[in-house]
């Protein structure tokens, strides 16, 4: 579904991605783990079209993405939930959700998807009229995911969804992500919480200093002493 081939991305003089290749299959969850500064967020932004490539290519459903602006990628089914969530704090929960559907014109389909999102993320239903800035961290993360789902993605890019959340809310977020995956949405899951991410995904890619250090079967990587020592706080 998604083919990232030898991708290079620079932030000014800094080479944040140096020849990254990976692929995402239809309906799968792919975890991306790696230390701070490894290039995980840069990779998601490059897939979403927020950063230009300085080399390599990204293909989605067989077509090159490189000349497509972010809004066209959203329309083709790629939605990013950015690190830090990117919500509009003074707008209501309902308005933030509606913004996720801004490029869609079928009001009935949007209303039915909204209903589905609210059953998946029930905490949001009680808070529809509240401004987004007054939500707790976990609720804001759910809102950010809900907003992305209203774009009807086929490929959802999640940047550290569990960051800063209390353990119980981390459980809720991972349960919601598993449910979204069961509904057939492909997911690229960037997580510091590597163990949790790997237990939810079939395959994992380890980024280090802008390169793919390892990739493969999540269960196998989880049992690899080198991975455990570097990313899982020991076995
Ligand atoms: N806007 C930016 N300007 C300059 N350098 C950046 C910017 N964003 C990220 N970087 C650098 O690019 C590298 C990769 O960053 P990032 O993709 O955010 O890593 P991660 O998400 O894995 O922590 C780091 O060295 C970081 O300092
Ligand atoms: Mg990051």
Q: What is the pLDDT of residues 97-110, one digit of tens each?
A: 999 998 888 899 99
Mean pLDDT computed over 39-58 = 97
3-state class of 110 per DSSP? helix
Q: Provide the 10 A C-beta neighbour count for residue 154.
A: 17
- Count of residues in the chain: 235
Check residue 91 and report its DSSP letter.
Answer: S
CA 117 / ligand 1 centre spacing (Å) = 32
* Atom number of ligand 1 nearest to Cα 159: 21
In the three-class reduction of DSSP (H, G, I as helix; E, B as strand; rest coil), residue 1 is classed as coil
Residue 218: how many CB atoms within 10 A of its CB?
23
> What's the CA gap between 159 and 9, in Å, rounded?
17
Domains of the chain: 2-88+152-231 (3.40.50.300)
Q: Are strands 211-217 and 203-208 parallel, antiparallel or unpaired?
A: antiparallel
Work out the widest C-alpha separation in the chain, in whole angstroms: 52
Q: Which letter does DSSP use for residue 31 in this model?
A: E
- Best of 7, 9, 11, 159 for a ligand 1 pocket test (most atoms within 8 Å of beta carbon): 11
Per-residue pLDDT reduced to its tens digit, 61-75: 999 997 899 999 999
Instruction: With CA atoms as reference, report the closest residue to 188 among 176, 197, 196, 179.
Output: 197
Residue 234 Cα to ligand 2 middle (Å): 22
Residue 79 bridge partners (DSSP): 156
Distance CA 104, CA 124 (A): 21
Six token digits for residue 135: 């939500």
Closest CA to 161 of 146, 145, 149, 150: 145
Cα of 159 vs centre of ligand 2, distance in Å, is: 7
Cα separation of 46 and 31, whole Å? 16
pLDDT confidence band for 144 (50 / 70 / 90): very high
On average, the pLDDT of the chain sits at 93
Which atom of ligand 1 is nearest the CA belonging to 34?
A: 22
Ligand nearest the Cα of residue 42 is 1
The closest-lying atom of ligand 1 relative to the alpha carbon of residue 160 is: 21
Nearest to 39 by CA among 193, 198, 215, 209: 209
Residue pointed to by tokens 């990976």: 22
User: 234 pLDDT band (50/70/90 cuts)?
Assistant: low
Take atom 2 of ligand 1 and give the residue whose Cα is closest: 11
Confidence of residue 133 (pLDDT cuts 50, 70, 90): very high
Instruction: Report how far ligand 2's centroid is from the alpha carbon of 83 (Å).
Output: 6
Averaged over 146-158, what is the pLDDT? 95
Determine the average pLDDT of the residues in 75-82: 94
């Amino acid at each position: 579904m998604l083919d990232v081939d030898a991708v290079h991305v620079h932030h000014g003089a800094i080479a944040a991605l140096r020849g990254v290749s990976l692929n995402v299959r239809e309906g799968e969850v792919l975890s991306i783990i790696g230390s701070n500064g490894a290039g995980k967020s840069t990779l998601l932004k490059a897939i979403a079209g927020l950063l230009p490539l300085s080399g390599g290519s990204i293909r989605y459903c067989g077509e090159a993405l490189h000349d497509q602006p972010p809004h066209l990628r959203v329309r083709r089914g790629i939605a990013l939930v950015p690190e830090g969530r990117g919500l509009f704090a003074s707008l209501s929960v309902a308005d933030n959700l509606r913004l996720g559907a801004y490029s869609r014109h079928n009001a009935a389909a949007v209303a039915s998807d909204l209903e589905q999102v609210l059953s998946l993320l029930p905490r949001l239903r009680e808070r529809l009229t509240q401004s987004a800035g007054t939500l707790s961290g976990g609720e804001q993360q759910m809102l950010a995911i809900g907003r992305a789902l209203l774009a009807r993605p086929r490929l959802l890019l999640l940047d550290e969804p569990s960051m800063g959340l209390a353990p119980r809310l981390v459980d809720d977020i991972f349960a919601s992500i598993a449910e979204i995956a069961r509904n057939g949405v492909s997911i690229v899951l960037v997580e510091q919480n590597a163990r949790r991410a790997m237990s939810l995904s079939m395959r994992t890619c380890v980024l280090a200093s802008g390169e793919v250090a390892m990739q493969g079967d999540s269960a196998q990587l989880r049992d690899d002493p080198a991975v455990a020592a570097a990313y899982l706080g020991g076995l």
